Structure formats: structure tokens, C-alpha cells
């Protein structure tokens, strides 16, 4: 028989103090959760960096395409609806493409470094 001091606290105490220990049954599952958190951080960072870096690019493409200055604040009364809607569609499309490129780049770097797809991207719908 193992003394209580060596055996540790009862399981019910662990479930109150550390509920994540009860939910995880193996070290592999804990590692999967950690990898998922790391991947979420990398993917979010790539998306935020892409959006921040895209603003000057979007404004430059707007000037080249429409030969006019982009609206400073599309919600302002002085900006016509046509220009405000065009700005919304234009920026949404450009930022979406830039964000996709950044996330695909992050996936490629993850796959090159770890040899596998990031967690959550291992499977896709047909």
C-alpha cells in the first residue's frame, strides 16, 4: 500500500484545482493542445501583420486604378455613396487576398519546420 503523502491528493481535488488535467487523458493530447495554441498565435500574427502592411498597398493600388485619392473616411457625409461602397469592396478584396497569402506563407513555414500540416489544417472538406 502506498502512503497518502506519496500517492498525492485525491482525484476530486485535482479536478477542482486543475480541471484541464481531468479533461486530458494523455501527454499526446496535451501536446496537441499546445501545438494548436502555437499555431493559432502564428496564424493570428500573420493575419494581423498582413492587414497592417496592406493599408499603404491598398491606397497605392486605389490611386493607380481610379486616378484619385482614396476616401479618408468612407463614412463621412462628404464622401459619395458610390465612392464609399467602392472603397469597401476594393479594400475587402485586396486585404482578403493579402491575408490569404500571409496565412499560406505561415502554413508553408510551419510545414517546412515541422514536417506536417498545422493543427486544424490536416484535413479539408472535399
What number of H helices and E strands is found in the chain?
5, 0
Q: In terms of Cα–Cα distance, which of 13, 95, 20 is closest to 62? A: 95
**Residue 3 placed within a domain:** no
The reported pTM is 0.61
Distance CA 46, CA 104 (A): 9
Q: In percent, how much of the chain has pLDDT > 70?
A: 70
**Residue 61 placed within a domain:** yes
Q: Which set of grid coordinates corresponds to residue 38?
A: 502555437
**Residue 21 placed within a domain:** no
Owning domain of residue 110: 26-114
The total of structural domains in the chain comes to: 1
**Residue 14 placed within a domain:** no
Residue-wise pLDDT for 14-47, tens only, equals 444 444 444 445 555 556 678 888 888 888 888 8
Amino acid at each position: 500500500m502506498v502512503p497518502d503523502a506519496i500517492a498525492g491528493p485525491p482525484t476530486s481535488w485535482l479536478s477542482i484545482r486543475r480541471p484541464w488535467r481531468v479533461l486530458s487523458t494523455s501527454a499526446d493530447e496535451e501536446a496537441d493542445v499546445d501545438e494548436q495554441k502555437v499555431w493559432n498565435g502564428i496564424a493570428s500574427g500573420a493575419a494581423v501583420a498582413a492587414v497592417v502592411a496592406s493599408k499603404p498597398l491598398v491606397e497605392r493600388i486605389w490611386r493607380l486604378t481610379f486616378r484619385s485619392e482614396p476616401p479618408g473616411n468612407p463614412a463621412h457625409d462628404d464622401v459619395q455613396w458610390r465612392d464609399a461602397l467602392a472603397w469597401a469592396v476594393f479594400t475587402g478584396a485586396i486585404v482578403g487576398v493579402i491575408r490569404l497569402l500571409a496565412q499560406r506563407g505561415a502554413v508553408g513555414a510551419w510545414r517546412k519546420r515541422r514536417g506536417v500540416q498545422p493543427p486544424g489544417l490536416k484535413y479539408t472538406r472535399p
